[in-house]
Amino acid sequence: MLIGIVHTAGSPCGCAEALAGGLHALDHEALIVDSEEILLRAEELARRCDLVVDHTDTFLGWGVLRPFVRWELERFGARVAGTSARSCFLADDKIAAKGILNAAGIPTPPGAAVNTAAMVLPPWLTPPLILKPACEHMSRGVVMVTTREEAREVMGALLLRYRQPVLVETYIPGRELAISLLDGPEGLRVLPIIEWLTDWEDNNDVILTEAFKLRDNGADRGDMRRLLLPSDRLQELESLARKAFRSLGLRDYGRFDVRLAADGRCYFLEANTTPSLENAEALAQSARWAGMDYPSLVAKILAAVRRRCDRERRQNRIGPVGGKRGLFSR
């Protein structure tokens, strides 16, 4: 099979190279395309590739625009792994996603959307506060403040810098979790949950910043461990994660950032429709704890896409998936 991989050239993320290596281990070919070329090459990807994996970081320099890459691929009929462009628009928008999760009964931190620097925060939103651009990812632009005056200044700076609304939320003290999900033949599977380990007590870094996520930890990371909780608590977390995945319309695979408070309550922070596919990152580590090496994880993602495409083909009565060669013909 020929698998297209769309990524943002110059991004610190190494997903494209890692995924290409996993595909080669499975005897598949990879065609890597820069997301900035998508307007010129979407038709080619749709025509030539059995499947396209879109891991765009930014489009035209903006994280808020990255779902347009997936929309362009879908417009030409490409079979895209993961969540649809429509659901990416919703899930990538932290304010919209928060509303959807709250409506589904999934807890999120108390928060408010800010569209102008002149907006007065509601009195119940008390510091410390977390401020983040609504549609960025990789913790880009995330700031913690300790006073309402500081919040007002940072709100103005973020609105000017990112040109999009800002989500302001109450800071939840506790443990930071990464919950990865993968669709399987028996249904949606929650992989072993990661708890992030940081130097919070030493440097007061109480949130996972962009710098934390971009640092080079090597293959043997010491900043994560498998979350250990009583089985009933784990089942509750897993059930909420599945509900969040379905509520946002995610497909095939994904990840949630979750805060586990000291009182045992959990708060869903945001969804990641394109979790890093690097071998040392959260999804691959959770997969290893579930007994999968990296090529096996890639194979299971491809299998998830195949099952979904087959379902869609039966429902829509369209032609064979994969064109003349047939998708996943190996």
Query: Per DSSP, what are the bridge partners of residue 55?
Result: 7
Strand residue runs (E) in 233-288:
253-261, 266-272
Residue 225 lies in a domain: yes
pLDDT score at 134: 95
Q: Is the pLDDT of residue 288 over 80?
A: yes
pLDDT tens digits, one per residue of 103-124: 999 999 999 999 998 899 999 9
CATH of the domain at 260: 3.30.470.20
pLDDT score at 321: 46
Query: Within 10 A of 60 (CB to CB), how many other CB atoms are there?
Result: 12
Tell me the mean pLDDT in the region 165-191.
95
pLDDT tens digits, one per residue of 201-229: 443 345 665 555 555 555 566 789 999 99
CB 278 within 8 A of CB 294: no
Same domain, 281 and 219: yes
Residue 107 to residue 256: CA distance in whole angstroms: 13
Domain count, the chain: 3
Instruction: State the average pLDDT for the chain.
Output: 89
For residue 116, what are the domain limits? Answer: 111-170
Same domain, 128 and 224: no
Q: Is the pLDDT of residue 90 over 70?
A: yes
pLDDT score at 220: 60
Residue 322 lies in a domain: no
Same domain, 200 and 276: yes
Residue 310 to residue 299: CA distance in whole angstroms: 16
Tell me the mean pLDDT in the region 174-186.
93
Residue 141 lies in a domain: yes
Strand residue runs (E) in 224-293:
224-226, 253-261, 266-272
Q: Is the pLDDT of residue 262 over 60?
A: yes
Same domain, 30 and 56: yes
> Given pLDDT bands bounded at 50, 70 and 90, which one contains residue 327?
very low
